[in-house]
């Protein structure tokens, strides 16, 4: 059991944010750097058009990943990331085998967990909003 002042839960959340943020950032960077080649052929799973779908994916995968890594507006940042993974899992890869869907499911699980727990005390959210607004499971008293 961790004490109320143990840094371990927040270190765990920091590791989760940075690891999954960097991994998704790579996906976003690939889309951003290949935008002109991908823009007209990118999947359009929800009827926004290929170009807008690609721009939305870049915004989530690149922009929101930067926010996630920093722990800035974390709970807001994970919403587009989670939505992107829901679309990948249940729409884009709906007919694919589990091995293809598994990565999107893992990302989705992490994003939902971070939505529920918050970023931890090692975050910009904590610096800006303090414990009251950025309260999360890592700051909760031990039982």
Q: Count CB atoms within 10 A of the CB of residue 110.
A: 22
Which has more pLDDT, 4 or 41? 41
At residue 7, what are phi and psi to the nearest 5 degrees?
-80, -5
pLDDT, one tens digit per residue, over 32-49 is: 999 999 999 999 999 999
| pLDDT for res 143 | 42
Could you state, in order of their start, the residue ranges of all structural domains in the chain? Answer: 8-139
Q: What's the confidence (pLDDT) of residue 38?
A: 95
**pLDDT, tens only, 59-105:** 999 999 999 999 999 999 999 999 999 999 999 999 999 999 999 99
Distance CA 39, CA 19 (A): 28
Classify residue 78 by its DSSP letter. Answer: H
Q: Quick: pLDDT tens for 112-125.
A: 999 999 999 999 99
CA distance 52 to 61: 14
């Amino acid at each position: 059991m961790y004490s109320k002042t143990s840094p371990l839960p927040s270190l765990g959340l920091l590791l989760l944010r940075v690891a999954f943020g960097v991994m998704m950032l790579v996906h976003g960077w690939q889309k951003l750097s290949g935008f002109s080649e991908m823009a007209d052929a990118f999947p359009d799973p929800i009827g926004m058009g290929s170009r807008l779908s690609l721009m939305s994916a870049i915004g989530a995968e690149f922009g929101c990943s930067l926010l996630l890594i920093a722990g800035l507006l974390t709970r807001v940042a994970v919403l587009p990331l989670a939505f992107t993974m829901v679309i990948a899992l249940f729409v884009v890869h709906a007919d694919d085998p589990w091995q293809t869907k598994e990565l999107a499911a893992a990302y989705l699980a992490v994003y939902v967990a971070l939505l529920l727990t918050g970023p931890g005390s090692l975050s910009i959210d904590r610096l800006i909003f303090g414990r009251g607004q950025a309260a999360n499971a890592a700051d909760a008293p031990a039982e």
